[in-house]
Amino acid sequence: MVQRKPASGQFELMPDRKGAVWDLLLYVPTVAALATIGARFWFGGDQGLAYLLSFLASLFFFIGANRILKTRLLLLPAAPCGLDIGDEGLTVRLRGGVRVDLVKQVKVYADLAGRSFGVSGLDRQGQRLQFVFHRGQFADASAFGAVQDALRALPAARATR
C-alpha cells in the first residue's frame, strides 16, 4: 500500500482590489438605501421601523467594512497574509505578526462558483477559528487551485461542499 504524503507549501496573499470594488458596489448602495429609507420613516412618524432599518444599515456597514478591510484589502491586523501548509497542519500568518496553527478538525469549505473558499479548525488552545480566502488574493489561478489541493491533502482536513 502506497501512503500519500500530504502536499505542502507556502502561499503569500495579496490585496484583491478588484473584489474590493465589487464589494463596495454591493455594500455602499445597500447601506445608503437602508439609511435613507430609515430616515424617511423616522421623520414620517414610524420610529419603530426607522430603528429596525437603522440597525440593518449599521449592521451591513460593519459587515461590509470588515469584509473589504480584512479579507479583500488585508489592512486589519487580523487579516491573513500568508498560508504555510505542512505535514502537521495549516499555519495562517496574520498581518499583525501572529501565526495561527490549525491542527485539529481542519475543514475546507468551497463555494459553488469556485471564487473563494473557507477554512476552519481548532488551534493549539482548542479555539475554533475560521478564515475566508478569495481567488483574487493569490498570484494566479494555478496558485489558487494548488492551495485548495494542498489543504484537501492534509490528514486533518475534510472537504465540505
In this structure, which topology does domain 9-14+77-160 adopt according to CATH?
PH-domain like (2.30.29)
Phi-psi region of 98 (alpha: psi -120 to 50; beta: other; left: phi over 0): beta
pLDDT in tens, 104-114: 899 999 889 98
Q: What's the half-sphere exposure (Cβ side, CA atoms, 13 Å) at 30?
A: 17
| Residue 128: strand pairing partners | 122
Q: Is residue 77 over pLDDT 60?
A: yes
Q: Is residue 7 over pLDDT 70?
A: no
> What's the CA gap between 105 and 54, in Å, rounded?
38
This prediction's pTM: 0.84
Report residue 19 as a C-alpha cell.
473584489
Q: What DSSP line would sit under 92-124, residue for residue? A: EEETTS-EEEE-EEEEEEE-TTSSEEEEEEE-T
Report residue 112 as a C-alpha cell.
459553488
| Residue 91: strand pairing partners | 84, 101
Q: Name the average pLDDT for the chain.
A: 91
Consecutive H or E run containing 2: none
Compute the Cα dihedral for 75, 78, 84, 90 and give only its sign: negative
Q: Is residue 1 over pLDDT 50?
A: no
Q: Determine the average pLDDT of the residues in 107-125.
A: 92
